[in-house]
């Protein structure tokens, strides 16, 4: 019997494998970001997040903290777990990072200004 494990730093859109250099090049950055933020990309990223969360559970993780997600996919999966749709660990989800303009994670998993963040998260807010 082991106590529940806590993963305090997870990026659940990724499987932990290094991305091909073509996808991380400066020239491909906007294309990759546009895909990740599209409706199809949302489904892909949410599916990966769900798979990775359930893998964490099977590995003994009972609480995990998500840091920097493409959108709010991990929040959605967390809500589904909390609603009883399927078993999972307790998930503390962050949504996208807020970073300096051109900083770490922008434009894929980070927003570079509060206004950009809010336009993505707060659509319909005054």
pTM, to two decimals: 0.79
- Structure token pair of residue 8: 């305090």
Domain boundaries, the chain: 5-121
In this structure, which topology does domain 5-121 adopt according to CATH? Answer: Translation Initiation Factor IF3 (3.30.110)
- Structure token pair of residue 80: 């589904």
Give residue 68's pLDDT: 79
For helices 73-82 and 39-58, angle between their N-to-C axes, nearest 10 degrees: 50
- For the segment 101-125, what is each residue's pLDDT rounded down to a tens digit? 777 776 777 776 666 555 555 554 4
């Amino acid at each position: 019997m082991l106590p529940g494990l806590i993963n305090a730093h997870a990026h659940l859109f990724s499987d932990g494998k290094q991305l091909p250099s073509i996808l991380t090049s400066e020239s491909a950055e906007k294309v990759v970001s546009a895909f990740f933020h599209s409706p199809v990309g949302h489904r892909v990223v949410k599916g990966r997040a769900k798979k990775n969360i359930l893998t964490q559970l099977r590995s003994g993780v009972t609480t995990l903290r998500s840091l920097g997600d493409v959108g709010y996919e991990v929040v959605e999966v967390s809500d589904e777990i909390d609603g009883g749709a399927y078993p999972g660990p307790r998930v503390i989800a962050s949504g996208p990072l807020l970073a300096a303009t051109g900083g770490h994670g922008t434009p894929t998993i980070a927003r570079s200004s509060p206004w950009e963040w809010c336009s993505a998260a707060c659509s319909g807010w005054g």
